[in-house]
Amino acid sequence: MEFDPCAILGVSPGDSPEIWKKAYRRLAMRWHPDRNDDPQATERFKEIGAAYEALLSGDDEASENPPADASTAATPPQAPDIRLSLSLTLEEAARGCRRSVDFIRSVDCPTCDGSGEAGLARTRFCSACHGSGRVHDAHRRLIPCGACHGKGLFTERICPDCEGHGKHRTPVHLEITVPPGMLQGDELRLTGQGEAASGELAAGDLYLTILLEQHRLFQLDGRDLCYRMPVDALLLLAGGDIRVPGLAGEVVCELAAGDSVPREIRLAGAGYPGRGRHPAGDLRVELMPVFAVDLTARQKTALRNLHEAWMKEAATHLPAVAEWRRRQGLD
Ligand SMILES: [Zn+2]
Ligand SMILES: [Zn+2]
């Protein structure tokens, strides 16, 4: 068995040395071998002495390491927190916004001060014996009900204003400010806006969990703002300015000439705004090439002209074909 000085003396580590001393002296008197015939008296007496010495020698150590519950004692007990969710559009959450929040808070009934008891007497039947005042024991014998002391009912004095609940449900309306850049699942804490203070309890807190509504265009990847955008394949080939939607409006960016295959443009810091130590995300647009359909006659001609011009440089683009044509005497 483990040697526990406090358990042996029946004291706690937080007690003063005077209390330890009193406990030691009381037990030492009781278990002194000269006064006690118990065959274990000598052993108990030694144990008590050792426990007291151990407590005294650990005294300095104990005062340097205060009991663990000292930290919890520093924060006063609180009434329960209230947790709600707050649904925002991506734009509202990004920019920050003002919102009104409505909820129900329980407050102490002022008539009975939260006790639920006041002037009015009410009779309640005992549920343990269903009002009969008698119950069966283990041997199926009828005995008086212990819960109601055989009366079968309780008489209570209840508060007419809260019907004995001690609380009133009060609608609360708050205007709150949502700071910019909160993400799905982030919590907004409003100190003291939870359940009301009651007796010894300080008011609880209100926690609002952010829910982001689906956006038709944008998706979030962390704080990166992402979407796919169809782009004329000819523009991907030719390069040029392109307008892309962002949370703060349209952004013009320059597209380098290249292939007509999907590619991503990435605008650093132009995505979802930063918050605290988290920097703003990027705007990532995946450009999906599409070929124009339903061209007008004039547009078709323009494209054919483009093709003819391109073919004039066939020797560069298609050297094997150009050589074959030359040998055939076609050029
Ligand atoms: Zn009963
Ligand atoms: Zn009341």
Mean pLDDT of the region 190-201: 90
| CA 164 – ligand 1 centroid, Å | 20
CA distances for 57 relative to 17, 25, 52, 62, angstroms: 11, 17, 9, 9
For residue 147, which ligand has an atom nearest its CA? 1
pLDDT at 70 over 60: no
Measured distance CA(51)–CA(53) in Å, rounded: 5
| CA 96 – ligand 2 centroid, Å | 41
Position 323 scores a pLDDT of 87
104-107 CB contacts, 8 Å cutoff, 24+ apart? 104/169, 104/170, 104/171, 104/172, 105/169, 105/170, 105/172, 105/194, 105/195, 105/196, 106/167, 106/168, 106/169, 106/170, 106/195, 106/196, 107/167, 107/168, 107/170, 107/196, 107/198
pLDDT at 74 over 60: no
The owner of tokens 């209840």 is 158
Measured distance CA(230)–CA(232) in Å, rounded: 7
As beta bridge partners, residue 202 has: 78
pLDDT digits over 301-326, tens only?
999 998 888 888 777 778 888 889 88
| CA 110 – ligand 2 centroid, Å | 6
Among residues 95, 89, 86, 91, which one has the least CA distance to residue 214?
89
Mean pLDDT of the region 297-303: 94
For residue 168, which ligand has an atom nearest its CA? 2
pLDDT at 64 over 80: no
For residue 133, which ligand has an atom nearest its CA? 1
Measured distance CA(199)–CA(151) in Å, rounded: 33
| CA 144 – ligand 1 centroid, Å | 8
pLDDT at 73 over 60: no
| CA 169 – ligand 2 centroid, Å | 12
| CA 195 – ligand 2 centroid, Å | 17
For residue 106, which ligand has an atom nearest its CA? 2
The owner of tokens 């947790």 is 83
Mean pLDDT of the region 106-122: 82
| CA 171 – ligand 2 centroid, Å | 17
| CA 163 – ligand 1 centroid, Å | 22
CB atoms within 10 A of CB 55: 22
CA distances for 139 relative to 14, 135, 136, 142, 143, angstroms: 48, 11, 7, 9, 10
Measured distance CA(167)–CA(106) in Å, rounded: 6
- Which domains does the chain carry? 5-68 (1.10.287.110), 77-104+171-214 (2.60.260.20), 219-290 (2.60.260.20), 300-327 (no CATH)
Position 68 scores a pLDDT of 44
Could you give the 3-state DSSP secondary structure of residue 94? helix
Convert 119-129 to b/e letters by CB count within 10 Å (16 or more is b): eeeeeeebeeb
Position 244 scores a pLDDT of 95
| CA 108 – ligand 2 centroid, Å | 8
| CA 15 – ligand 2 centroid, Å | 41
Highest mean pLDDT, choosing among 25-39, 143-157, 251-265:
251-265
H/E stretch holding 176: strand 167-178
| CA 123 – ligand 1 centroid, Å | 13
Look at strands 283-290 and 224-232 and give their pairing. Answer: parallel
| CA 92 – ligand 1 centroid, Å | 59
Under 8 Å between Cβ of 124 and 153: yes
H/E stretch holding 124: strand 120-125
Position 66 scores a pLDDT of 46
For residue 114, which ligand has an atom nearest its CA? 2
Could you give the 3-state DSSP secondary structure of residue 141? coil
Percent of the chain with pLDDT over 90: 45
| CA 74 – ligand 1 centroid, Å | 43
Under 8 Å between Cβ of 206 and 102: no
4-10 CB contacts, 8 Å cutoff, 24+ apart? 5/50, 5/51, 5/52, 5/54, 5/55, 5/58, 6/51, 6/55, 8/47, 8/48, 8/51, 9/48, 9/51, 9/52, 9/55
pLDDT digits over 254-284, tens only?
999 988 889 999 999 999 999 999 999 999 9
| CA 124 – ligand 1 centroid, Å | 10
Position 310 scores a pLDDT of 82
Q: What does pLDDT average to over the chain?
A: 87
For residue 163, which ligand has an atom nearest its CA? 2
pLDDT at 166 over 50: yes
